[in-house]
Amino acid sequence: MKKFTKQIYPSFVYLFLYLPILIVIIFSFNDASRSLIWKGFTLKWYFELFHDSGMLTVAAHSIIIGILAASLASSIGTITAVSLFRYRFFGKNLLHGLLFVMIVTPEIVIGISLLLLYSATNVPLGFWSLLLAHTTLCIPFAAITVYSRITSLDKSIFEAARDLGASDFVIFSKIIVPLLLPAIVAAWLLSFTLSLDDVITSYFVSGPGFAILPLKVYAMVRLGIKPEINALCTLLLIGTLLLVVAAQVALKKNEKVGE
Amino acid sequence: MYTNIVELKGVSKCFGDYKALETIDLTIQNGEFITLLGPSGCGKTTILRLISGLEKPDTGHIFINGQDVTDWPPEHRHLNMVFQSYALFPHMTVFENIAFGLRCRKIAKNEIVERVEEILRIVKLTKLAQRKPDQLSGGQQQRVAIARAVVNRPLVLLLDEPLSALDYNLRKDMQVELKQLQRKLGVTFVFVTHDQEEALSMSDRVAVMNEGHIEQLGTPRDVYEEPANLYVAEFIGETNVFETKVIRSDKQTVEVKVEDKRFTFKNKRGLKTRQEVCVTVRPEDLAVWRQEEVGEVSDDMLPGKVEQVIYKGSIVELVVRLESNKRIYATEFFNEDDEKLDYQIGERVWVNWIPGWEVILPV
C-alpha cells in the first residue's frame, strides 16, 4: 500500500497527463496515413507539412499576429505595471482588480463581446480585429508578470534616482526598464504563446481573409486527423516548450538581480 | 552661502491618522554634523524626507540656503540622500552608479570622469570601479552610496541610518571614516540614527526626538550631561532615577529626600517646594565603597547589597539593591585607587556620588 501511494500513484498521474501528448509525437513519425498501428518510422509528414504552402501561409499569419500582439501587450503591460506601482491615481485599485477579472473571464465572453464591438463599430473581421483581440487578451497576463517583479524591487532605488536628479523619463528608461527587462521578456514570451494557440476568441473575431493556425488545425481535424497534424502539433509543442524554458531562465536571472 | 543652510519653520506631517511629526522648528547650520536621534517611529526619518523633498509637509515652510523650497521637487533642491538600504542601482557598475547624478545634470563627459575618479580616490574604491554592487561587501556598498551622493557636491548630505546594516566592527570604522569625510568635504551632514553611541561620537549637535517632536537640541556633551528632561536622560546612556519631592527650595538650593536621607543640592532649574522631581545619577558617577573602605559612614552614603558583578575588562558593572529594595547600576573603573574592584555578591556596600554630578529634573 505504501509503495502504491509512493511510486505507482504518481506515475499514473504523469501517465494520464503526458501519454496523449506522447502518442501524438510518436504518431507524427508513423508511416501510415490513417492507421493507429505502428508501421515504421518516417519523416514523410514533416516533409508534407513544409510543402503545404497553404499551411505555411497560415502559420506565418499566426506568427506575425503573435509577434505584434506580444510586443504591444508587453509594452502596454509594462507601462500598466509601472504606473500601478509608482503612482497614485484615481481608480488605481479598480484597474488592478480589473486585470485579474480579465484573466478569469471566460474567453468565450471576451470573444462574443469583441465580436459585438466590432460589428457595432463596423470593424471588418481580419488582421486588425485579430491583432486587437489578441493584444487585449494578453495585456493582463503581461501586466501581472511584470508587476509581480517590480514589487520585489527596493522602492528606495527609484527615490535615490529621483534624489540624484533623474526625471521620470530617465528613471523609466535607465532604471526601471533595465531592471525589469527579464520580466518584460518573460511577459512577451507568455503573450506570444497565448496568441499563437488561442482558438476560442480567435474563432469569433477572425474572418475568411486572414486564417490563423489554430483555427486551420481545428477545421482540418473535423475532416479526420491527418498525420500531418500530428507533425504540426509536435512542432508547436517543441516551440512552446522552448519559449517556456526561455521565459523561466529569464525570470531566474531577474530574481538574482532583484536580490 | 547662508549660515543657516536648512531651516524648518512650523513644519508638521501626518500619514493618514498617524501624526508622524508635530509642529517643529529646526535650524541647521552650514558645515555642521547634526544627528537626529530617537527610537523608531519618532519622526526622525520623516524630517529627513521632508528636507529632501521626497515628502511634502502638511504645514510650515522649509528653507534651503535662504530660499523657500517647500514646493520644490527633490531634484531641484541640491541635496543628496544616502539611503538605509543604500539603494544602489544593481544593473550599473560602481562608476556608473556614482556618475548617475552627474549624467542627469548633463555635465560634460570629461568632467564626469574627473569628478568620479576623484571621489573614488577619497572613498578608496578606485580598484573596484568596474564591479557591480552585488560583487561588493557591505562596507564597500556603503561607501559607493556615500560617493554617489557627495559627488554631486550637495549643499547638505542627508544620511538615513546608513550604518545600521553593518556589523559592529565595520560600523565603528565607518563612523570614523564618515566623520573624516565630513571634515574633508566641509559639507553639512544630517544624520539619522537610533544608536545613541553613534550620535554622541560623531555629531556636532544632536537633536533627541520622541513621538514626533524634538525633546532637546544641543551638543553631545549637553544632552548627556545636562538633559532637558527625563526622557532625554533615560534615552541617552543609562541613568539611575530616584523619584522624590522637593522638601524645601530657595533660589540657590533645593532640599530633597533620596532613599530616606536628606540631601541639599544646587537649584539649577528653579524648582519649587513640593514639586515632584527625579534625581538622576549616571552609573559611572556613582562610587561604591566596601565596608572596610568606609571609615565613618557619612550622611550622603546610601547602604545596599551587591546583587550582581559584571566584569567587562576595563570596567566592572555592579547591580546594587538599596535598602528600599530599589536596584541601581554603578560602573567602577580600574585605577590607582581601585586596582582590584573585588566585589562579592551579597556584600554590604555604601554608595555615594560627588555632589553636583546629579541632575534633578521635574517630572
Q: Which of residues 142-161 of A touch B (CB under 8 A)?
A: 154, 156-157, 159-161
The C-alpha cell of B54 is what? 521626497
- A121 touches A59 (CB < 8 A): no
Q: Which residues contact B206 (CB under 8 A, 6 or more apart)?
A: B34, B35, B37, B199, B200, B216, B217, B218, B219, B220, B223
Percent pLDDT > 90 in chain B is 47
Determine, for residues B104 and A257 on separate chains, whether the beta-carbon distance falls below 8 Å.
no
Residue for grid cell 508635530: B22
**Test mutation, B91, B92, B107, chain A, max A CBs within 10 A:** B91
> Can you tell me whether residue A157 is helix, strand or coil?
helix
The C-alpha cell of A74 is what? 508587453
Residue for grid cell 529626600: B257
Sort out which chain A residues have CB atoms less than 8 A from B52's CB and list them. Answer: 163
Q: Can you name the residues that pair with A219 across neighbouring β-strands?
A: none
Q: Using alpha carbons only, how large is chain A's radius of gyration in Å?
A: 22
Span between the terminal Cα atoms of chain B, in Å: 42
> Can you tell me whether residue B66 is helix, strand or coil?
coil
In DSSP notation, B108-140 reads -HHHHHHHHHHHHHHTT-GGGTTS-GGGS-HHH
Cβ of A165 under 8 Å from any chain B Cβ? Answer: yes
Does residue B1 register a pLDDT over 60?
Answer: no
CA angle B165, B169, B172 (to 5 degrees): 85
Q: Can you name the residues that pair with B286 across neighbouring β-strands?
A: B353
Sort out which chain B residues have CB atoms less than 8 A from A162's CB and list them. Answer: 54, 73-75
Sort out which chain A residues have CB atoms less than 8 A from B148's CB and list them. Answer: 160, 164
Sort out which chain A residues have CB atoms less than 8 A from B73's CB and list them. Answer: 162
Q: What is the mean pLDDT of chain B?
A: 89
- CA–CA separation, B278 vs B363, rounded Å? 6
B125 φ, ψ to 5°?
-125, 15
Q: Which helix (H) or strand (E) holds B269?
A: none
Determine, for residues A163 and B134 on separate chains, whether the beta-carbon distance falls below 8 Å.
no
Distances (CA, A) of B220 to B8, B35, B201, B237, B305: 21, 10, 8, 11, 34
Q: Which residues contact B25 (CB under 8 A, 6 or more apart)?
A: B8, B9, B10, B11
Please give the CATH topology (third level) of the domain spanning A49-258.
MetI-like fold (1.10.3720)
- pLDDT, position A253: 67
Count of CB atoms situated within 10 Å of the CB of A116: 11
- CA–CA separation, B65 vs B328, rounded Å? 48
Determine which of A181-185, B8-12, B166-170, B326-330 has the lowest per-residue pLDDT on average. Answer: B166-170
Pairing relationship of beta strands B156-160 and B188-193 according to DSSP bridges: parallel
Q: Indicate the angle between helix axes A127-150 and A177-196, nearest 10 degrees.
A: 140
Does residue B59 register a pLDDT over 90?
Answer: yes
- CA–CA separation, B37 vs A120, rounded Å? 66
Residue for grid cell 526625471: A167
Give the residues of chain A that fall short of pLDDT 70.
Answer: 1, 35, 251, 253-259
- pLDDT, position A255: 55
Tell me which DSSP letter residue B312 carries. -
- pLDDT, position A258: 45
Please give the CATH topology (third level) of the domain spanning B240-362.
OB fold (Dihydrolipoamide Acetyltransferase, E2P) (2.40.50)
Determine, for residues B75 and A162 on separate chains, whether the beta-carbon distance falls below 8 Å.
yes
- B17 touches B190 (CB < 8 A): no
Q: What is the mean pLDDT of residues B289-315?
A: 84
The C-alpha cell of A56 is what? 505555411
- CA–CA separation, B69 vs B77, rounded Å? 7
Sort out which chain B residues have CB atoms less than 8 A from A167's CB and list them. Answer: 75, 104
Please give the CATH topology (third level) of the domain spanning B4-233.
Rossmann fold (3.40.50)
**Cross-chain CB nearest to B83 (options A156, A165, A174):** A156
Determine, for residues A160 and B134 on separate chains, whether the beta-carbon distance falls below 8 Å.
no
The C-alpha cell of A153 is what? 524591487
The C-alpha cell of B48 is what? 529627513
CA B148, distance to chain mean position in Å, is 25
Q: What is the mean pLDDT of residues B258-268?
A: 86
Kindly report, residue by residue over B334-351, the tens digit of the pLDDT. 776 656 677 888 888 999
pTM: 0.77
- CA–CA separation, A148 vs A135, rounded Å? 20
Show me where the domains of chain B are located: 4-233, 240-362
Cβ of A163 under 8 Å from any chain B Cβ? Answer: yes
Residue whose C-alpha is closest to residue B125's, from B81, B160, B95: B95
Chain B residues with a Cβ under 8 Å from any Cβ in chain A = 52, 54, 73-75, 79-81, 83-85, 87-91, 100-101, 104-105, 134, 148-149, 152
Cα nearest neighbour of B74 on chain A = A163
- B21 touches B76 (CB < 8 A): no
Does residue B290 register a pLDDT over 90?
Answer: no
ipTM, interface predicted TM-score of the complex: 0.78
- pLDDT, position B338: 59
CA angle B196, B201, B207 (to 5 degrees): 50
Kindly report, residue by residue over B219-233, the tens digit of the pLDDT. 999 999 889 888 999
In DSSP notation, A103-149 reads HHS-HHHHHHHHHHHHHHTTPPTTHHHHHHHHHHHHHHHHHHHHHHH
* Cα dihedral value B109, B113, B114, B119, nearest 10: 140
Cβ of A169 under 8 Å from any chain B Cβ? Answer: no
- pLDDT, position B336: 63
Sheet architecture: strand order including B213-218: B79-82, B156-160, B188-193, B33-37, B205-210, B213-218
- Three-state DSSP string of B247-290: EEECCCEEEEEECCEEEEEECCCCCCCCCEEEEEECHHHEEEEE
Pairing relationship of beta strands B33-37 and B205-210 according to DSSP bridges: parallel
Q: Which residues contact B78 (CB under 8 A, 6 or more apart)?
A: B64, B65, B154, B155
Kindly report, residue by residue over B174-188, the tens digit of the pLDDT. 888 889 889 888 899
Residue whose C-alpha is closest to residue B306's, from B350, B242, B337: B350
